[in-house]
Amino acid sequence: MLGTGSAFAKTYFNTNALIYADHNTLLLDCGITAPLSLHQLGKPLSEIDAVLISHIHADHIGGMEELAFRMKFVHGRRPVLYIPEPLAQPLWDSSLKGGLLQDECPSLDDYFDVRLIRPGAKTELLPGLAVEPIQTAHIPNKNSYSFLFNATFFYSADLIFNPELLRNLVEERGCETIFHDCQLKPPGIVHTTLDELLSLPLPVQERIWLMHYDDTKPQYEGKTGVMRFVEQHRRYRF
Ligand SMILES: O=c1ccn([C@@H]2O[C@@H]3COP(=O)(O)O[C@H]3[C@H]2O)c(=O)[nH]1
Ligand SMILES: [Zn+2]
Ligand SMILES: [Zn+2]
């Protein structure tokens, strides 16, 4: 995990991750703090093979301009960008264009090898790593996607509590592990709260790991039932 913090956390980096599959590396969201976190881990950008984006908020895409510029002008590379199709235009027009647009680089394709992925369909991202983007509610009328990897590992974007989805993933689809955003103090409004997750059936909670938490996390140690916290700069194997 490059980070496990909420958008405004100051003691944790943004909730972004590296996924290792075979000998390849996928960057899962690239927020404002991703470049510094990668630097602290000693992970060169040149070792990132592809990027996957969940939604357009700065803690998930705010590091994309630095990533694009350094990949192009330092490493001479155009990394693969996997992006749910409805996010591609807004990512460029409403966010990256302001900084990245210049005469010889008029589009997102000048910086990334853009691969549009279809929500609800399975796509192989890297050898041994397939994803199904699942549209999940976060901000009204703003597209946001969570990800089911290899049919067994669910990684939430920022999402409003959806107990039906979580029960379906565990009880019907055989999902084994859930990394879920967690707002520690209610009200959640655009996020899922700890109290909401604590209301889930025990077999679902047993599979949940908590991320995207704020700086008060130490006060909640031991108060999350069977659910564990994901810790930043740790590697998990599933
Ligand atoms: O309607 C809104 C929109 C945003 N926000 C805050 O801004 C943050 C943006 O990043 P995030 O999605 O991780 O978390 C969001 C919230 O903390 C909010 O409280 N209500
Ligand atoms: Zn966020
Ligand atoms: Zn968000």
For ligand 3, the distance from its centroid to the CA atom of residue 222, given in whole angstroms, is 26
- Strands 80-84 and 113-117, by their bridges, are parallel
- Which own/partner contact pairs does 195-200 have at CB distance under 8 Å and 24+ positions apart? 196/161, 196/163, 197/161, 197/227, 198/224, 198/225, 198/227, 199/163, 200/163, 200/166, 200/167
Q: Please work out whether the CB of residue 7 comes within 6 Å of at least one atom of ligand 1.
A: yes
Q: Where are the domains of the chain?
A: 17-229
| Both tokens assigned to 170 | 């565990």
Q: Which ligand is nearest to the CA of 183?
A: 1
> 146: closest CA among 34, 22, 60?
60
Looking at residue 142, what is its pLDDT? 97
From the alpha carbon of 57, which atom of ligand 1 is closest? 10
Q: Please work out whether the CB of residue 139 comes within 6 Å of at least one atom of ligand 1.
A: yes
Cβ atoms < 10 Å from Cβ of 30: 27
> 27: closest CA among 57, 12, 41, 47?
47
19-40 pLDDT, tens digit per residue, is 999 999 999 999 999 999 999 9
130-171 pLDDT, tens digit per residue, is 999 999 999 999 999 999 999 999 999 999 999 999 999 999
- Sorting pLDDT into bands at 50, 70 and 90, what band is 59? very high
Beta strand residue intervals within 136-197, DSSP E: 145-149, 153-155, 177-181
Place of tokens 């008060």: 216
Q: Please work out whether the CB of residue 29 comes within 6 Å of at least one atom of ligand 1.
A: no
For residues 213-238, average pLDDT: 98
Q: Please work out whether the CB of residue 160 comes within 6 Å of at least one atom of ligand 1.
A: no
For ligand 1, the distance from its centroid to the CA atom of residue 190, given in whole angstroms, is 6
Looking at residue 160, what is its pLDDT? 98
* CA-closest residue to ligand 1 atom 14: 7
For ligand 3, the distance from its centroid to the CA atom of residue 103, given in whole angstroms, is 31
3-state secondary structure of 124: strand
- Sorting pLDDT into bands at 50, 70 and 90, what band is 44? very high
Distance CA 198, CA 212 (A): 16
- Sorting pLDDT into bands at 50, 70 and 90, what band is 178? very high
From the alpha carbon of 8, which atom of ligand 1 is closest? 17
* CA-closest residue to ligand 1 atom 5: 190
Who's near 48: CB < 8 A, 6+ residues apart? 18, 25, 26, 27, 67, 79
For residues 57-85, average pLDDT: 98
Beta strand residue intervals within 50-181, DSSP E: 50-52, 80-84, 113-117, 123-126, 129-135, 145-149, 153-155, 177-181
| Both tokens assigned to 159 | 């999402």
The pTM for the full model equals 0.98
Give the CATH number of domain 17-229.
3.60.15.10
* CA-closest residue to ligand 1 atom 19: 190
Place of tokens 């379906």: 168
